[in-house]
Amino acid sequence: MHIVYPAVVSALLFSIGVYGVLARRNTILVLMSVELMLNAVNLNLVAFDVWLGDRLHSGQVLTLFVIVIAAAEVGVGLAIVLALYRNRRTVDLDYLRDLAEPADGPTPGNPTVTDQAQTQRHTTDDQPVERDHGDGRPAGRGGKS
Amino acid sequence: MTEAMPSYLSPTGQEIIFLLLGAVAVGSALLVVTTRQLVHAALWLVVTFGALAGCYLVLTAEFVAWVQVLIYVGAVIVLLLFGIMLTRAPIGRSTDLDSGNRPAAVVVALATAAILVTVVIDGFRMAYTPLTPGQGGAAELGGSIFSTWVLPFEALSVLLLAALIGAIVLSRTDITGANGTNQRGDGPNGLSRTDTPGGGSPPDQTGGH
């Protein structure tokens, strides 16, 4: 077995994972892409373990450890996503910008502090996109700064 | 390690099978990140993980292959499907699964792929190893884990326990913070409770415990 084959497959999988993490908007899809990247690393570990003929099997043991850590990561990540969904009614990463720098101009669909009163009147809406239909106030960061 | 390298033009049966499985894995991974349906992404991920388990089998890592099937295909996919359903994701086609920085993501991913593939091919062009079966069975791996790698194994069990407790604490709603308020809902600007009327217990509307 040429070692180039698993190495190239793993490099392609890693790049696909990078694309998914950067391009996807849903948090669960981002978690799936992280899993793809971890699997690329696993394939590399197994291939190089076979190539080097390690007597301690460090590559395969480390693959098992990575699999376990990936399982723990998915568990905690999904708990975080569910808590987020419970509090925000959305898991779209584009709307979760509270830790971002104050952008120049209003970010579309950003639920901010000033919309709290309006939001509590519209308690049944699932989408926080159009929050500016209360009294004509723009949905930007009105009185934040 | 690099003895008597055969030509690339006469691949063995193992290499052909590995390349086919790798093509399946890469193709279904592409479908994972490009599909328009959330549930289909999870199901294509099953195909990717299964093909990768086949790759491990070809690489004589049998135990890793079965652990991959058990944990990834069995547990992680089910967890992801649970997450999809509990967040009430739309079943069916949805148009807004990609964010606005998709062109930048394409550029970054293509650059990453180009650099990694170039470096890997350049570095390991001459690397070859014959595959001898029996190197990755449960007996060998078990002996290795419980003799050499015992300490990381135990540390990993503690990490799993911590992750378990963390997930429970994150997903329970009746655990209150030090000041008697909800632990997750008391952000500094009160943003977190904007969707619940009167700041009551949040999961009443979701029904998702």
Evaluate whether A37 touches A17 at the Cβ level (below 8 Å).
yes
What element of type H or E holds B150? helix B150-171
Quote the domain boundaries for residue B41: 13-94+104-135
Q: What pLDDT is recorded for position A145? A: 36
- CB distance B105–A119 less than 8 Å? no
Query: What mean pLDDT is predicted for residues A82-106?
Result: 81
Give the tens place of pLDDT for each residue, A52-75: 988 888 999 999 999 999 999 999
With a pLDDT cut of 90, the percent of chain A lying above it is 50
- Radius of gyration (C-alpha) of chain B in whole angstroms: 23
Which residues have C-beta within 8 Å of that of residue B61, sequence separation ≥ 6? A46, A49, A50, A60, A63, B135, B136
Task: Give CA–CA dist A35/A44, Å, rounded.
Answer: 14
Looking at per-residue pLDDT, the higher value among A50 and A144 belongs to A50
Task: Give CA–CA dist A50/A59, Å, rounded.
Answer: 8
Q: Collapse the DSSP code of B182 into the 3-class scheme (helix H, G, I; strand E, B; otherwise coil) and give the result.
A: strand
Strands, E assignment, chain B:
none
CA distances from B111 to A60, B84, B102, B124 (A): 29, 31, 14, 20
Task: Give CA–CA dist B11/B128, Å, rounded.
Answer: 12
Looking at per-residue pLDDT, the higher value among B176 and A50 belongs to A50
- CB distance B106–A4 less than 8 Å? no
CB count, 10 Å around CB of B179?
7
Task: Give CA–CA dist B31/B24, Å, rounded.
Answer: 11
pLDDT band at A139 (very low <50, low <70, confident <90, very high): very low
Task: Give CA–CA dist B202/B173, Å, rounded.
Answer: 8
Q: What pLDDT is recorded for position B87? A: 87
Identity of residue B178: A
Q: Which residue numbers in chain B have pLDDT < 50?
A: 2, 183-209
Evaluate whether A88 touches B192 at the Cβ level (below 8 Å).
yes
Looking at per-residue pLDDT, the higher value among A124 and B54 belongs to B54
Rounded to the nearest angstrom, the minimum Cα separation between A145 and chain B is 13
Kindly report the CATH class assigned to A4-93: mainly alpha
Which residues have C-beta within 8 Å of that of residue A124, sequence separation ≥ 6? none
Evaluate whether A96 touches B200 at the Cβ level (below 8 Å).
no
Q: What pLDDT is recorded for position B94? A: 80
**Structural domain contains residue B82:** yes
Count of domains in chain B? 1
Give the tens place of pLDDT for each residue, B56-78: 999 999 999 999 999 999 999 99
Task: Give CA–CA dist A9/B58, Å, rounded.
Answer: 14
**Structural domain contains residue B170:** no
Task: Give CA–CA dist A10/B22, Å, rounded.
Answer: 9
Task: Give CA–CA dist B17/B20, Å, rounded.
Answer: 5
pLDDT band at A135 (very low <50, low <70, confident <90, very high): very low
Judged by CB atoms within 8 Å, which residues 110-169 of B form the interface with A?
110, 112-113, 116-117, 120-121, 124-125, 127-131, 135-136, 140-141, 144-145, 148-149, 152-153, 156, 159-160, 163-164, 166-168
Q: Which residues of A touch B32 (CB under 8 A)?
A: 16, 20, 32-33, 36
Q: Which residues of A touch B16 (CB under 8 A)?
A: none
CA distances from B51 to B12, B24, B45, B63 (A): 19, 6, 10, 15
Residue B130: give its domain's CATH number. Answer: 1.20.120.1200
Structure tokens belonging to residue A1: 């077995």
B175 — contact with chain A (CB < 8 Å)? no
**Structural domain contains residue B195:** no
Which chain B residue is nearest to residue A124, measuring alpha carbons?
A: B195
Report angle CA B29, B15, B112 to the nearest 5 degrees. Answer: 40
Task: Give CA–CA dist A36/A39, Å, rounded.
Answer: 5
Evaluate whether B194 touches A111 at the Cβ level (below 8 Å).
yes
Q: Which residues of B touch A29 (CB under 8 A)?
A: 33, 38, 41, 97
Tell me: pLDDT of A123 over 70.
Answer: no
